């Protein structure tokens, strides 16, 4: 089972919007050195919606090659078209990813039966471990715990990234699914709480900026060391807030640029962080005591 701090990796870009391959390699090495337990390549934080098919597959392939088996690589392959999600998942398997992360289809607003059949079709089409991803605040579609429980019976659907931030709902889910089905947090502000309830890790935006702290908090929380987990998390709680002052990944890419980890370039329709939020993000970086390479 994949556990711990799983960074939702940003996709570094040059000033012209092209993929910065050198920075991508550097980010992989940085995270491994900082103790990150796994990398999510080209998830939604990695701007999957605006990368071409070929770029998407190439980033996954490059991350897998650079990691070279040292930590797990989870490829973001979700889409609001079942056919497209299957194709991306096939490409991720061919690239050597250890698992795939599949977001609930956005905009379409499928029924619960539609969600079940969507994820079932992908699982049956591609024999690779698959993690569901429920983030209703971004998709306008909420996958119920009942639907997750149905999907947990499919052998290669191994977990879910729950970004609802609802700990009561998360606890209910953890207590309902099979023991080998992992529930991961997708909400940095409540991640420690979910892991203390039995969650297996944190698919984290904050880990882009404070990888060692997020990794330590996850290790303590998964081990049941509540006091130590909360103590580490308290030092970065300002980041959990400031990295969402504008839609993700706008703030985290700007913060990464301030640390020299990546350029701030981001693809339209997203734009670089508004100047009015610069001071807030810089203050959170200072309080957290984070530094770049």
DSSP line for 213-241: HHHHHHHHHHTT-HHHHHHHHHTTHHHHH
Tens digit of each residue's pLDDT, the chain (293 residues): 999 999 999 999 999 999 999 999 999 999 999 999 999 999 999 999 999 999 999 999 999 999 999 999 999 999 999 999 999 999 999 999 999 999 999 999 999 999 999 999 999 999 999 999 999 999 999 999 999 999 999 999 999 999 999 999 999 999 999 999 999 999 999 999 999 999 999 999 999 999 999 999 999 999 999 999 999 999 999 999 999 999 999 999 999 999 999 999 999 999 999 999 999 999 999 999 987 65
CA dist 292 → 209, 261, 275, 278 (Å)? 8, 6, 21, 17
Is 246 a domain residue? no
Q: Is residue 189 part of a domain?
A: yes
Binding site feature residues for pyruvate: 45, 203
Supply the CATH number for residue 116's domain: 3.20.20.70
In a domain, 39, yes or no: yes
Q: Is residue 98 part of a domain?
A: yes
The domain tally of the chain equals: 1
Q: How far is CA 212 from the centre of its chain?
A: 16
209 contacts 5 by C-beta, under 8 angstroms: no
Domain that holds residue 122: 4-225
Question: Any idea which residues carry the catalytic annotation?
Answer: 133, 161
What is the pTM (predicted TM-score) of this model?
0.96
117 within domain boundaries: yes
Assigned domain for 255 exists: no
Q: Is residue 106 part of a domain?
A: yes
Report yes or no on 170 lying in a domain: yes
Alpha helices in the chain (DSSP H): 21-34, 53-67, 82-95, 112-125, 136-139, 145-151, 167-176, 191-196, 211-222, 226-234, 237-242, 250-258, 278-288
Apex 113 CA angle, 109 and 117, nearest 5: 95
């Amino acid at each position: 089972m994949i556990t711990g701090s799983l960074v939702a990796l940003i996709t570094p870009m040059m000033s012209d919007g092209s993929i910065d391959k050198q920075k991508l390699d550097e980010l992989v090495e940085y995270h491994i050195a900082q103790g990150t337990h796994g990398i999510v390549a080209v998830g939604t934080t990695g701007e999957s919606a605006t990368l071409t098919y070929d770029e998407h597959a190439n980033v996954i392939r490059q991350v897998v090659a650079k990691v070279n088996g040292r930590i797990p690589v989870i490829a973001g392959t979700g889409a609001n078209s079942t056919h497209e999600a299957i194709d991306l998942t096939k490409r991720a398997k061919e690239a050597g990813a250890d698992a795939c992360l599949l977001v609930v289809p956005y905009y379409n607003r499928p029924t619960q039966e539609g969600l079940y059949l969507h994820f079932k079709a992908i699982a049956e089409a591609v024999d690779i471990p698959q993690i569901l991803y429920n983030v209703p605040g971004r998709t306008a579609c909420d996958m119920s715990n009942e639907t997750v429980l149905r999907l947990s019976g499919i052998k290669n659907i191994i977990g879910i990234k729950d970004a609802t931030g609802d700990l009561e709902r998360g606890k209910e889910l953890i207590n309902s699914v099979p023991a080998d089905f992992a529930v991961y947090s997708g909400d940095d502000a409540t991640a420690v709480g979910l892991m203390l309830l039995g969650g297996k890790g944190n698919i984290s935006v904050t880990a882009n900026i404070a990888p060692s702290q997020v990794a330590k908090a996850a290790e303590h929380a998964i081990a049941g060391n509540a006091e130590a987990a909360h103590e580490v998390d308290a030092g970065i709680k300002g980041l959990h807030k400031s990295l969402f002052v504008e839609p993700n990944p706008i703030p985290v890419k700007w913060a990464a640029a301030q640390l020299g980890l990546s350029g701030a370039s981001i693809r339209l329709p997203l734009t670089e962080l508004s100047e009015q939020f610069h001071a807030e993000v810089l203050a959170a970086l200072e309080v957290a005591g984070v530094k770049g390479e």
